[in-house]
Structure 1
Amino acid sequence: MEAHEQPTPEEARASLEQIIASRTAAAQATRRPAWIDAGISTAAGATIALGTAGYWVAAIVVLVVGSLVFAVVLHRQARGRGQVLDQRAIGARTLRFALLYAVLFVLGQIEAPPNWQPWYSLGAGLIAAMAGYAWLRFEDRYRVRRLTAGDYDRYDLI
């Protein structure tokens, strides 16, 4: 096809499908690995478990060490480029975080009797870890879905 010729409908459709496939492949390649989300949520769950058991110093140590370790891992991984930051993304993130925070707040406010320990602390830590993992995966899935669909303005991408 010459530069001045118009593509046929089939050629145009094939070109659009190729663009969509390329955009999907590029967005999928930026997904954060699930093991990183599992590690982050496990550290958060361990912090909640230790905190509800009354081991505040150990909980703070796990929180700080886990945060530092996964900050380094996320920095070295550096796959998740391209964050969509518009009003819709901020609203969706706020709603999902509010749900996660409500779960963590309720777990932190319940004062379990001593005979419930250590089972209450283990259960609270497990619930916190599962909620955190779900939140992280939903965040990443939302980001990839928006990037794949091209559902953003060029100034909304950071």
Structure 2
Amino acid sequence: MNNRQLTVEVMMDEKRQISREDAQASLDTVAQSRDKAAKVKARPVWLDASFCVGVGIVMVVANIGPKLPSVPIALGCLTLIAIVYALASRRWVRRKGRIVDERSVGKNMLMFLMAYAPIVLSGMLRPDDGWSLPVSIGVGVFIMISGFAYLRLDERYQARRLAAGDYDPYDLV
């Protein structure tokens, strides 16, 4: 029996009326089911953490200075990390697609600025030779933390909207 037939039978049965409590319990069950489904399909924390650690290490190498050919090494490592992250995401992330509408694009842009601003600002930072390594490590750690915060906030935003059903079918990409 499908849902439409069940609805018709309930509507035709005038003796049976759904109470307010039953209706609320049914809505709560649906909300809990959506929450559980969103949590099961969420991107693993360890995947985001490992990506951010890799990017932080690359930023330390890139900011060390002219003692090494640091920028080509950093670009090569960053490319390798991005490829590994993309392949790992295909393997361990169950949810496919994202909500892309006006609200999510604006919110994502603001969150991305939080993670991207330290990268841009670190390129402007040129400490003395004696402070090059500690400053580079500090910059790398700060970029690691801000990148991890961005990835987790974005994941939470997507999961919350999916769990609430707060999207149109055409907004999923």
Q: Say whether the fold is shared (TM-score over 0.5).
A: yes
CA shift, 1:152, in A, is 1.4
Indicate which of 64, 89, 110 corresponds to 2:104.
Answer: 89
CA shift, 1:82, in A, is 4.2
Is residue 154 from structure 1 mapped to residue 165 from structure 2 by the alignment?
no
Q: Deviations over 1:42-69 (max 9, x none)?
A: 1111111110013223212221221111
**More off after superposition, 32-41 vs 9-18:** 9-18
What secondary structure sits across from 1:117 in the alignment? helix
CA shift, 1:70, in A, is 1.1
- Look up the match of 2:132: 117
Radius of gyration: which is bigger? 2
Q: How does 1:1-158 map to 2 (within 5 A)?
A: 2-3=9-10, 4-5=12-13, 6-54=17-65, 55-158=70-173
Runs (4+) of structure 1 exceeding 6 A deviation are: none
State whether residues 46 and 62 of structure 1, in contact with CA within 8 Å, keep that contact through their aligned partners in structure 2: no
Partners of 2:37 and 2:96 lie apart in 1 by 10
- One-letter amino acid of the counterpart of residue 155, structure 2: D
Partners of 1:98 and 1:132 lie apart in 2 by 10
Partners of 1:87 and 1:19 lie apart in 2 by 26
State whether residues 24 and 148 of structure 1, in contact with CA within 8 Å, keep that contact through their aligned partners in structure 2: yes
TM-score (norm 1): 0.92
CA shift, 1:9, in A, is 2.1
TM-score (norm 2): 0.84
- One-letter amino acid of the counterpart of residue 18, structure 2: P
Partners of 2:90 and 2:98 lie apart in 1 by 15
Tell me the percent identity: 34
CA shift, 1:94, in A, is 0.6
Q: Deviations over 1:77-131 (max 9, x none)?
A: 1323341111000000011112222121111111111110211111111111111
Q: Deviations over 1:8-48 (max 9, x none)?
A: 22222221111111111111111111100001111111111
